[in-house]
Homo-oligomer: A and B are copies of this chain.
Amino acid sequence: MSSTADAYDDLLGRIERYSYLRDASMTLGWDQQVTMPEGGTPARARQTAALSTVAHDVIASEAVADRLDELADADLSGEQAAVVRETRRQHEEAARVPEELVEEISRTGAEAQELWQTAKAENDFEAFAPTLERIRELHVERAEHVDQQRDPYRVMYEGYEPALPLELVEDVFDQLRERLVPLIDELLDAADEADLAGLPDGEWDETTQMVLNREAVELLGYDFERGRLDTSPHPFTSGNQFDCRITTRVRPDDPLDALTATVHEYGHASYQLGLPQAEYGTPLGRPHWEIHESQSRFWENHVGRTRAFWELFAPTFNDHLGTELSPGELYEAANRLTPENLIRVEADELTYHMHVILRTEIERRFVSGELGVEEIPSVWNDLMEEYLGVRPDSDAEGCLQDIHWTGGFAGFQSYTVGSVLAAQLDAAMREDLDADVDALIREGEFDPLREWMTEHVHSHGKRYPADELIERATGEPLTAEYFLEYVERKFGDLYGL
């Protein structure tokens, strides 16, 4: 290219095209989960594979490599440098991994999902173990293609969280382990006396629950001109700054479950919808994976699980469900600890993190080869006993409960990083806003909260690496301190410690 400007524009066009194709693919994924008739799977699988291939070709192309070379020492603005940095990262990862390996990983993962379903249904880990080992080998091979010099687990981790040093996250996890295990112990000792309220027994149909869920996110500020709320087997968020949709799933006996999931997904959507529209398709208009879960956790926990929220929302809740619960009772019901629950996705706000820490430990040792695949069930059960004092009776309720490993490793930690960062952002917001945040919540005035997040987080897209963005938004690097203070205070109060 004749000039830096031309090279930059050409590169920008290519990363935009790549983004648009990925977003097209995401829409196909949403459709598959939400609206596609059952019989459509074979056709959809081929459409998705074709889209993957052409998107890969766009980002891994020689042309992108050439532009990156031409721009390597160019004099760029901060925004331009960020675009080049993010494009380079994605290009290198795509260009270094052979297409056949990408395809094998994708095929093996898809087959593994079916195997996993059967193995889980039949509580037969041995039937799944060889495939899990194969997935490990393939992902290690992939990591070695990306960077042969480094520990494969680290490479996998950085695929998710390139800018949050692994050591920092490990340090955060050590602190959580150190303080959460005794805290949970203390709280459980106090549980009988505290006798927190729960929901009454009952059944609430899907239509009723969905009207309630819709009202909740409308209240929080979800813009239905740029979103939708549907149901799917697993709740998820899909979209961009123009159109970001959420789903939830409904359990007849537990309307708090769907409501919490809905508010959680709303948090994800608020991030997407807060990205700058003018930067759609460029890295400046895309979210950080490292940050995403903090937004869902902020709305789920720091808004939806507060006493102030239930003071606001209890009448609506009672109205729709025909209950007569006080705000205090609903606040307690939304925050009851259930450490006896063996299933991560049903865990409470606090014990949840021991589930994540357990998986992170196991997958790290498994990826390194230190832990053999056949040892996973017993190590899992031992750690459950150590952390939460319960031991699964079956692998279906133990190491077979999550589908995630069919898609690879080193992604679980992001759930806990999200909660930790949510508390840190919440503290910074409360410090920063010239208002009583609880009073705002109680009044249903959520705009200032969302606007603070948009200003300090969403609007930057990937302008700054995640670690720098965190420091700019909160004044300090990621730290466990705010989260630990928050849960100690909140659950200490609830359980009368």
Contact residues of A with B, CB < 8 Å? Answer: 16-17, 20-21, 23-25, 27-28, 31, 35-44, 46-51, 53-54, 57-58, 223-228, 239-243, 245, 277, 280-281
Q: A43-B242, A44-B243, A280-B43 are in contact. Are A24 and B37 (CB under 8 A)?
A: no
Q: A21-B51, A24-B28 are in contact. Are A226 and B39 (CB under 8 A)?
A: yes
A27 CA to B35 CA in the complex, in Å? Answer: 11
Are B243 and A39 touching (Cβ within 8 A)?
yes
A239 CA to B28 CA in the complex, in Å? Answer: 13
The main secondary structure of chain A at its interface with chain B is helix
Chain B residues with Cβ under 8 A from A239's Cβ?
A: 40
Chain B residues with Cβ under 8 A from A277's Cβ?
A: 42
A48 to B, closest residue via Cβ = B24
Are A43 and B23 touching (Cβ within 8 A)?
yes
Are A226 and B27 touching (Cβ within 8 A)?
no
Are A245 and B37 touching (Cβ within 8 A)?
yes
30 pairs, CB–CB < 8 Å, chain A vs chain B: A16-B46, A20-B46, A20-B50, A20-B51, A21-B51, A21-B54, A24-B28, A24-B47, A24-B50, A24-B51, A27-B31, A31-B31, A31-B35, A36-B243, A37-B225, A37-B228, A38-B225, A38-B226, A39-B226, A39-B242, A39-B243, A40-B239, A43-B241, A43-B242, A43-B243, A44-B242, A44-B243, A46-B281, A54-B57, A54-B58
A23 CA to B57 CA in the complex, in Å? Answer: 19
A25 to B, closest residue via Cβ = B24
A280 CA to B46 CA in the complex, in Å? Answer: 9
Give the interface centre of A23, A27, A43, A58 by most chain B CB atoms within 10 Å.
A43
For the complex formed, measure the closest distance between the CB of A429 and the CB atoms of chain B, giving whole angstroms. 26
For the complex formed, measure the closest distance between the CB of A260 and the CB atoms of chain B, giving whole angstroms. 23
Chain B residues with Cβ under 8 A from A48's Cβ?
A: 24
Given contacts A20-B50, A42-B242, A44-B243, 13 further A-B contacts (CB under 8 A): A17-B54, A20-B51, A21-B54, A27-B47, A37-B227, A37-B243, A38-B225, A39-B225, A39-B243, A43-B240, A43-B243, A44-B242, A54-B57
